Structure 1
Amino acid sequence: MLRRLSDNELLALLNDLESAPPFDLYPVPSASIDDLSRVVFEAEYLPNAFAPDVLEENGRSYEERLASCRMITSPTELTPTVVGLLALGKSPKTTCQAPTSNSYASKVLSWPTQW
């Protein structure tokens, strides 16, 4: 049975949502860096996201570039993020799984449509 949230409950929920990262930055543990297309990243994404002189001066590794664009969680933790799979995934439909019950997206998606 649905009930209206109290002011305190609503404030607590909003505070939780503000501190959560955007859904597209969540890691996808079932995916690996091999699920991302390096060709698409280097030939299409980077040239459209950055000026040529910036790319020339940038001495970062492939992994560091992926991480700085938030396509993976970090240069040492090579887990793709949701945005990484959606932008660069070789097969995003088979790699992305539904969010877990305690994720930001599932909280938002489970909100009642009527109060």
Structure 2
Amino acid sequence: MSADISHKLVVAISSRALFDLDESNAIYEKDGVEKYAQYQIAHENDVLKPGIAFPLVQKLLALNQHGDLVEVILLSRNSADTGLRIFNSIAHYNMNITRAAFTSGESPYQYVQA
């Protein structure tokens, strides 16, 4: 049974908007997906710096102090393995983001309904 979200604002955010992934993305572009994956796994406990949308997501999630009003869903082209660093960073910043789609390089837009 799926969750009832009819009373919520549901926002999907990319991992690159939530966190600054420029350094690891440069590795991906220069050395390819295998080196990128190795880098992310080797640094899975290194907390990512906030990205451009981080303050917006914090403010949206803060609305939940007044009830269950907002859900943020993470969309990422990472795999579940390389995405662990992202979820570790979410936990570090105490952000209530519990759902994600990791697409292993595929477009995440198939998971989004208008």
TM value normalised by structure 2: 0.26
Q: Which has the higher contact order (CA 8 A, sep 6+)?
A: 1
When Rg is computed on C-alpha atoms for both structures, the one with the higher figure is: 1
Higher helix share: 1
